Amino acid sequence: MTRSIYSFVVTLIALCALKVSGTADDQIIAPNEKNKAAKHTLPGKIKRPPNIVLIFADDLGYADTGVYGSKTIPTPHIDALAKRGVRFTDSYVTAGTCSPSRAGLMSGRYQQRFGFEFNTAGAAITHRESRGLDPAVITFPKVLQHTGYATGMFGKWHLGTRSHFHPNTRGFDEFFGFLAGAHGYFPVKREERVYSTVMRNKTHLREPDYLTDAFARETVRFIHKNRDKRFFAYVPFNAVHTPIEASKKYLDRFPDVRNRQQKTYNAMVSALDDAVGAIVAALKETQTEKNTLVIFMNDNGGPIYTRVQSNAPLRLGKLFLFEGGIRVPLIMSWPGVLEAGSIYRQPVSSLDIYPTLCAAAGLVLPSRLKLDGVNLFPHLNGEIDAAPHEALFWSNGPNKAARLGQWKMVQAHDHVWLFDLENDIGETKNLALAKPEILKTLQAKLKQWQGQMKPPAWPSKPNRRKVMVDGAPYELNI
Active centre residues (catalytic): 98, 158
The whole-angstrom separation of Cα 410 and Cα 472 is 12
Q: Which residues contact 147 (CB under 8 A, 6 or more apart)?
A: 18, 29, 30, 31, 361, 363
- C-alpha distances (whole Å) from 83 to each of 87, 123, 288, 354 are 8, 39, 18, 24
- DSSP 3-state of 5: helix
- C-alpha distances (whole Å) from 423 to each of 400, 420, 427, 437 are 22, 6, 9, 19
154, 221 in Cβ contact below 8 A?
no
The whole-angstrom separation of Cα 418 and Cα 404 is 11
Q: What is the CA angle 157-124-151, rounded to 5?
A: 20
357, 145 in Cβ contact below 8 A?
no
One DSSP character per residue, 290-331 reads GGEEEEEEESSPPPSTTS----TTSSS-TTSSSHHHHB--EE
Backbone φ and ψ of 430, nearest 5° = -80, 120
The pairs formed by 174-179 with CB atoms below 8 angstroms and a separation of 24 or more are 174/201, 174/222, 175/199, 175/200, 175/201, 176/152, 176/200, 176/201, 176/214, 176/215, 176/218, 177/153, 177/215, 177/236, 178/238, 179/123
